[in-house]
A and B are shown apart, each in its own frame.
Chain A
Amino acid sequence: MTAANGNVRLAARSLAPAVLVMGKGGVGKTTVAAALATLEAETHGLAVLVEFGDGESGRRALGPTHKGVEHVVIHAAEAIQRGATPLFGSATMAKLALGNFAMRPLLKAAPAIRELAMLESVRQIVEARPGVRVVVDMPATGHAVAWLRTAKQGREFLGSGPMFELCDRVARELVAPGRASIIVVTLPERLVLEETLELCESIALDPGLEVARIVVNRVPLPLAQECLVDARALAQGGGALAQPAAALVSLLEARAAASAGAVAALEVFAHGPHAIWQVPLAPVDPSARDVARWLRAEGAA
């Protein structure tokens, strides 16, 4: 085993059994989650990728062959049924209660129940697979933080009873330091970064989890420094090429600022040498395998 692999393992080990991947929409969250699961499976033989919804985006990111990665798709209705079964004593009783004319619209209108049930499903997946890392592709930002708060809120509000116990279990065994690590995916753009910092703060405040890693996705590869010097000279020299050269300078500066600014701004929240991982910008969609390869290289850096 190379030193690079050793470093990745060391970094990966400090993560909790459940890894919750968060970030705003469109930052490449799903691909990064799939890449983390792929990397984990390559290193340890097995990993789970959890996705909510129809499973379409996870399948696309993982690609046709994903050796060692178990792809689990959690559907809201099934999660509610699963979560409710022990509460009501049996699947039949749960079905009877949930299918009730008044309960059905109520469940649709009360988002917290759905979210709690889905978190409980994740908790069960982690519990059933000791020693296997479970990577969860969380929904987009604002929504995901509200999700993580449901367990504690429910616990405080209910006070006692079987549903209180469910909330308590999720709060203690999943949404807790050492049980779940947060990985935030972001982009090297000033405004997206500002939102990311807000997200990190709000996660630390409530539910009180620390952001273990920040993945800066689509970092443009820096172009030759020499070119910037030459382009600046050309831009200042006047003549027909001054304006085109100025455009090039602005592009080069934008790239340099994107990369440097990302790291500088995010270091405030990150701890340790592997706290920030950068994934380069690919002109077209990278596969989970590509991103896994880049992440491996980042771990070695």
Chain B
Amino acid sequence: MKDPRVIVCAGGGGVGKTTTSAALSVALAARGYRTLIVTIDPARRLAGAMGVPITDVVTPVPLPAARGRLWALMPDPRRSMGTFLDFLFADEPEAKARMLTNNLYLGLADAAAGVHELVAMNLVARAATEGDFDVVVIDTAPSRHAIDFVTYPARLAALLGGRTVAWLAGLAQRSGGATATAPRGLLSWGTGHVEHLLARVTGPNLVRDTANLFADLALVRERFVALTRRASELLLGERVAYALVAAPTAAARDDVLFLAARLEKLGRRPRAIVLNRADTQAAPWVRALREGHGVAPSITEVLDVLEQERRTRATAADALAVELRSKLSWAAVVRLPYVEASAPEDIVAALSTELDAHLTALLPDAR
């Protein structure tokens, strides 16, 4: 068993991050690295392009370009909460049964942030241990907070061990009407007023369910912390390189600067910024048609339109590249062309060929 290198791809929505991550993994596999591509937010996009199902199981990617060295892990977000509870409450079946009937839990299950990411990272950790990979490419969710979830569970874990749980447990007991004695100790003087207000506002149900939920979660705090630590190691460890994916739009520019600042706060810096839709010159086939003899005027006219579009994109990309090189001078800026094709696998193939020349920007010891 060896310790794989990890490349974390982050970026805002709509910049082609998923396709770029897929292309990067294909490029790595084609170079001979045993590669695992993990997508946190599969949404069928990458799966479709790679020809693999959305499942918790590591699946070989059948693309010929990957030469049998690429595997994919695309866990379904809808199943994560169940997997999460199975893991947390493996030793506490009764608490798990209570969780599943807790109204608050049922209501919150949709919205609970970070759970899917945690579950996915746990799967990645297992796959990385068992799978003998050289490189793991992690395609994060398209969000400015794609890496923040690493800190969120730590806060929740702290909360579970803190005074809130004790307070809530006492409050639930009292609001249930079992005892009417005044709180002492941890529950300070002013808290009585808060309890009174809270019970008046929410009614007894919410307080009781909240208290039970937290009490049950507190039971499995250790497992929760272990899960969080594993996710942190994978995303913030020594062997991790970050690639921020952007495109020449104002929104993508703001997202990439925001993400770089977030990474900086975690003591990390992106190794590379991949700029999509940023071709510097016309595609070879466009040049061939332009220089060819006897090409119909209808084709020449369309080529003119395409060239005009490309120039407009390139102007925006030039300006962005200059700004990023000055603000994030330590990161390599990799420019990729705009690939227009109907089939996502064609785009992945085209971009992986382009990325091959830039692998050293992401892997310090690329061969």
B313 to A, closest residue via Cβ = A283
B99 on the A face (CB < 8 A): no
- Determine whether A178 belongs to the interface, using a CB cutoff of 8 Å to chain B: no
When each residue 21-63 of chain A gets 1 if its CB lies under 8 Å from chain B and 0 otherwise, what string results?
Answer: 0001111101000000000000000000000000011001000
| A195 engages B250 (CB within 8 Å) | no
Q: Give every chain A residue within 8 A of B43 (Cβ-Cβ).
A: 24, 191, 195
Set A27, A93, A157, A243: member contacting B206, Cβ < 8 A: A157
Contact B316 A154 (CB under 8 A): no
One digit per residue, 1 when the CB lies within 8 angstroms of any chain B CB and 0 when it does not, for chain A 232-266 equals 00100000110111011011111101100000000
In B267-316, the 8 Å CB interface with A consists of 283-286, 288-289, 292, 295-296, 298-299, 301-303, 305-306, 308-309, 312-313, 315-316
Q: Give Cα distance in the complex from A111 to B198, angstroms.
A: 18
Contact A230 B194, CB 8 Å, known A102-B168, A162-B200: no
**A283 to B200 Cα, complex, angstroms:** 56
Residue of A nearest to B293 (CB): A241
Q: Does A132 contact B (CB under 8 A)?
A: no
Write the nearest CB–CB distance from B75 to chain A, whole angstroms: 15
Contact between chains at B111 and A231 (CB < 8 Å): no
Q: CA A234 – CA B248 in complex, angstroms?
A: 34
The contact of B159 among A105, A254, A283, by CB within 8 Å, is: A105
A65 at the interface (CB under 8 A from B): no
Q: Tell me if A273 counts as interface (CB < 8 A to partner B).
A: no
B194-216, CB under 8 A of A: which get 1 and which 0? Answer: 10011011110110011000000
**B341 x A93 contact (CB < 8 A):** no
A96 interfacial contact with B, CB 8 Å: yes
A131 to B340, CA, bound (A): 44
Interface residue stretch chosen among B12-20, B173-181, B328-336 = B12-20
Interface residues on B, range: 35 or more
- Report yes or no: B312 in contact with A283, Cβ–Cβ below 8 A: yes
B203 adjacent to A158 (CB under 8 Å):
yes
With contacts defined as CB atoms under 8 Å apart, how many contacts are there between chain A and chain B in the complex?
A: 198
Nearest-neighbour CB distance to chain A for B70, whole angstroms, equals 20
The smallest beta-carbon distance between A116 and chain B, in angstroms, is 11
Closest A residue to B204 by CB, please name it.
A161
A158 touches B206 (CB 8 A): yes
Q: Does B249 contact A (CB under 8 A)?
A: yes
Which listed segment binds A: B87-95, B102-110, B354-362?
A: B102-110
B44 in complex: contacting residue of A100, A194, A240, A247, CB < 8 Å: A194
Using a Cβ–Cβ cut-off of 8 Å, how many residues does chain A contribute to the interface with B? Answer: 78
A142 to B41, CA, bound (A): 11
Q: Contact check, A248 vs B285: say whether CB atoms are below 8 A apart.
A: yes
A87 at the interface (CB under 8 A from B): yes
Contacting residues, chain A, for B251 (C-beta < 8 A): 26, 30, 57, 60, 285
Q: Find A243's partner among B205, B285, B299 (CB 8 Å cutoff).
A: B285
| Contact of B299 with A158 in the complex, beta carbons under 8 Å | no
Report which of A28, A100, A161, A252 forms a contact with B302, defined as CB distance below 8 A: A252
A258 to chain B, nearest CB (A): 8
**B289 touches which of A26, A245, A258 (Cβ 8 Å):** A245
Q: Does A91 contact B (CB under 8 A)?
A: no
The yes or no answer to A204 lying at the interface (CB within 8 A) is no
B112 interface residue, CB < 8 Å from A? yes
Report whether B302 and A241 are in contact in the complex, using a CB–CB cutoff of 8 Å: no
Expressed in whole angstroms, the Cα–Cα distance for A112 and B296 within the complex equals 61
A272 interface residue per 8 A CB criterion? no
Asked if B285 and A24 sit within 8 Å, CB to CB, the answer is no
**A164-B197 Cα distance, complex, nearest whole Å:** 15
Complex partner residue of A102 from B110, B164, B202, B249, CB under 8 angstroms: B164
Contact B250 A60 (CB under 8 A): yes
Partner of B162, one of A96, A105, A112, A227: A105
User: Which of A100, A245, A247 is within 8 Å of B191, CB to CB?
Assistant: A100
A191 adjacent to B203 (CB under 8 Å): no
A163 contacts B by Cβ under 8 Å: yes
Q: Are A230's CB and B296's CB within 8 A?
A: yes
* Interchain CB contact under 8 A, B254 and A96: no
What per-residue 1/0 map shows which CB atoms of A79-101 lie under 8 Å from chain B?
00000100110000100110011
Report the minimum CB–CB distance from B358 to chain A (whole Å).
23
Q: Please give me the residue from chain A that is nearest to B290 by CB atom.
A: A244
Measured CA separation A251–B44 after assembly (Å): 23
Q: Is the CB of A26 within 8 A of B142?
A: yes
Residues of A near B250 (CB, < 8 A) are: 60, 285
Most buried by A among B163, B251, B303, B312: B251
A268 interface hit (Cβ, 8 Å): no
A115 proximity list for chain B (CB < 8 A)? 111
Chain A residue at minimum C-beta to C-beta distance from B300: A227
Return chain B residues, CB-CB under 8 Å to A271.
none
Q: A220 CA to B306 CA in the complex, in Å?
A: 11
Answer whether residue B113 sits at the interface, using C-beta atoms and an 8 A cutoff. Answer: yes
Contact of A56 among B200, B254, B299 (CB under 8 A): B254
Does B13 contact A140, Cβ atoms closer than 8 Å? Answer: yes
Q: Check if A157 sits within 8 Å of B164, measured CB to CB.
A: no
Task: Give a binary string over B1-23; 1 marks a CB under 8 Å from any A CB, 0 the rest.
Answer: 00000000000111100000000
30 A–B contacts, CB within 8 A, in A order = A24-B13, A25-B14, A26-B14, A28-B14, A30-B251, A56-B254, A57-B251, A60-B250, A84-B201, A96-B194, A97-B197, A97-B198, A102-B194, A106-B168, A109-B155, A111-B113, A112-B111, A115-B111, A158-B202, A158-B203, A159-B205, A164-B203, A190-B344, A191-B48, A224-B301, A227-B296, A227-B298, A240-B288, A257-B342, A285-B249
- 4 new A-B pairs (CB below 8 Å) besides A143-B111, A190-B344, A220-B340? A26-B12, A26-B14, A157-B107, A187-B14
